[in-house]
Structure 1
Amino acid sequence: MTAPAFAPDDLTARVLHRDGLMLVVDKPAGLPVHAGPKGGLNLESMFHALRFGLPRDPALAHRLDKDTSGCLVLGRHRKALARLGKLFANGRVGKTYWAVTRGAPEADEGRIDAALAKRSPDRGWWMAVDPAGQPSSTEWRVLARGAGLAFVEFTPLTGRTHQIRVHAAHLGMPLLGDPIYGAEPAGGARLHLHARSVRVPMRENQPPVTVTAPPPPHMAETFAALGWRVDEAEPALYAPV
């Protein structure tokens, strides 16, 4: 899919949180966070617009897939990045994702514990459920159902590559728009996976920084078409109209 037209000023306008240590930006779907082997437009090349008075560009504290939207955390200097690196590595950053899946389990919530490993040594991002792989856990709950689809909130307890996408497919409810782990045809729906919120305990003995990102337009359109609306008083809950 062609990357969206995007400029440094657009990225500045998508800053959701800023303090002396970190930034959280609302990453658009379809734009990679860093350059691939063939180069091309990417967010990292625009980080100079996010200095906000500091001498160096901020840097990525973690990654989101090209087609995933939502909360992306950046460290503003080396000490902040080191702190963020430890928090992510130790599983102390809370992450909530929203997704639309094809099909849904009978239960309204659950947890999947299924180890993940690389499916191919030549493509490090291509993952599969493998008992010999790294332990991987994801909690989930169904927020709405309709038209053979489900709106599901995922909370990954570990941070493996493509964890939510592989776990969802393993449960029999692949993500809408996923041509790799689902069965989305070429030219079909866009990937419906959104990093809805992060909770970062950046400073000890202080409340975590909690940030939420609005759903991207293509997911909002799907919600509207299925009659699902957000209750902003309780952002984690959607209800049918």
Structure 2
Amino acid sequence: MIGGLRFVHLDGWCAVIDKPGGLLSVPGRGPDKQDSVVSRLRCLLPWCLAQPAVHRLDMATSGLMVLGLTGPVHRHLSAQFARRQVVKEYVALLDGEVGGEGGEMRLAFRLDPDNRPHQVYDPEGGKEGITRWRRIGERDGRTLVVFVPLTGRTHQLRLHAAHPLGLGCPIVGDSLYGRGRPGDRLMLHAAALGFTHPASGQRMGFTSSPPFL
């Protein structure tokens, strides 16, 4: 742990951070929302790009995220995300029993402007989110799954888990789409991340164990 961040990888081009649940990925609006992965990183590396986050994890979600430290690196990594060349796997504990062993979900959703940041299903006006999933175990009437998102919509995995047209089974601790209460630990963790290093061209892969297992 350095400067309040757990580094999984760091070089002159990019950083991979194992973000704890409860920490913002990037600063928000207002003085009470300035503490984040990005603000902590820039305190340690003041020379890095002002906005190095290539992708974001929800505040309640823990796990791996990659940051590009310079403009060219950030653009290179962003292009990999856009081309779906980045491998991302999440482990989630669902609040109930799920039928089936795996599959693919496609649901379109959008922001509910009257209930921010809540997202709502909207097959006509929403943006499609695509998630592959597989069951990996059960525990006390709950189901452990791996999610592989092919798109990066806001709250995508939480919605795909909870919505009746998805798995119909919210993530444990989800206070927006499930039975969790504010402050509960969301049982969703970005457990694997793979991408091509923008300087060396080497394929890199990282893993992180979910803290709730």
Give me the TM-score of the superposition, normalised by structure 2: 0.87
How far is the alpha carbon of 1:89 from its aligned partner? 2.2
How far is the alpha carbon of 1:186 from its aligned partner? 4.7
1:138-177 to 2 correspondence within 5 Å? 138-170=131-163, 171-177=167-173
Unaligned runs of 5+ in 1: 1-6, 224-241
Indicate which of 163, 178, 185 corresponds to 1:182.
178
Conservation of the 8 A alpha-carbon contact between 2:97 and 2:142: yes
How far is the alpha carbon of 1:91 from its aligned partner? 2.0
How far is the alpha carbon of 1:88 from its aligned partner? 1.6
Conservation of the 8 A alpha-carbon contact between 2:133 and 2:148: yes
Conservation of the 8 A alpha-carbon contact between 2:73 and 2:198: no
How far is the alpha carbon of 1:206 from its aligned partner? 4.4
Deviations 1:46-86 (A, max 9, x none): 113543xx833571111111111110110011100111121
Q: What value does the CA root-mean-square deviation take over the aligned residues?
A: 2.3
Query: In the alignment, what sits opposite 1:109?
Result: 102
The reply on whether 1:135 has 2:147 as its aligned counterpart is: no
1:38-53 to 2 correspondence within 5 Å? 38-40=30-32, 41-51=35-45
- Quick one: percent identity of the two aligned structures? 35
How far is the alpha carbon of 1:207 from its aligned partner? 4.5
The reply on whether 1:191 has 2:200 as its aligned counterpart is: no
Greater Cα shift, 171-180 or 104-113: 104-113
Secondary structure of the 2:31 match is coil
Secondary structure of the 1:80 match is helix
Runs of 4+ off more than 3 Å: 202-207
Conservation of the 8 A alpha-carbon contact between 2:16 and 2:67: yes
Give me the TM-score of the superposition, normalised by structure 1: 0.77
Conservation of the 8 A alpha-carbon contact between 2:102 and 2:133: yes
Q: Distance in 1 between matches of 2:81 and 2:182?
A: 34
Secondary structure of the 1:26 match is strand
Greater Cα shift, 106-115 or 55-64: 55-64
TM-aligned CA distance change 1:136 to 1:56, over 3 Å: closer
Q: Distance in 2 between matches of 1:185 and 1:55?
A: 39
Conservation of the 8 A alpha-carbon contact between 1:33 and 1:43: yes
Unaligned runs of 5+ in 2: none
How far is the alpha carbon of 1:209 from its aligned partner? 1.2
Greater Cα shift, 41-50 or 192-201: 41-50
The reply on whether 1:56 has 2:48 as its aligned counterpart is: yes
Conservation of the 8 A alpha-carbon contact between 1:116 and 1:136: yes
1:21-36 to 2 correspondence within 5 Å? 21-36=13-28
Query: In the alignment, what sits opposite 1:226?
Result: none
Q: Distance in 2 between matches of 1:46 and 1:174?
A: 31
Conservation of the 8 A alpha-carbon contact between 1:47 and 1:57: no
Q: Distance in 2 between matches of 1:118 and 1:191?
A: 20
How far is the alpha carbon of 1:138 from its aligned partner? 0.5
How far is the alpha carbon of 1:42 from its aligned partner? 2.2
Conservation of the 8 A alpha-carbon contact between 2:49 and 2:68: no
Q: Distance in 2 between matches of 1:50 and 1:145?
A: 41
Q: Distance in 2 between matches of 1:177 and 1:15?
A: 26
Conservation of the 8 A alpha-carbon contact between 1:60 and 1:74: yes
- The number of equivalent residue pairs is 206
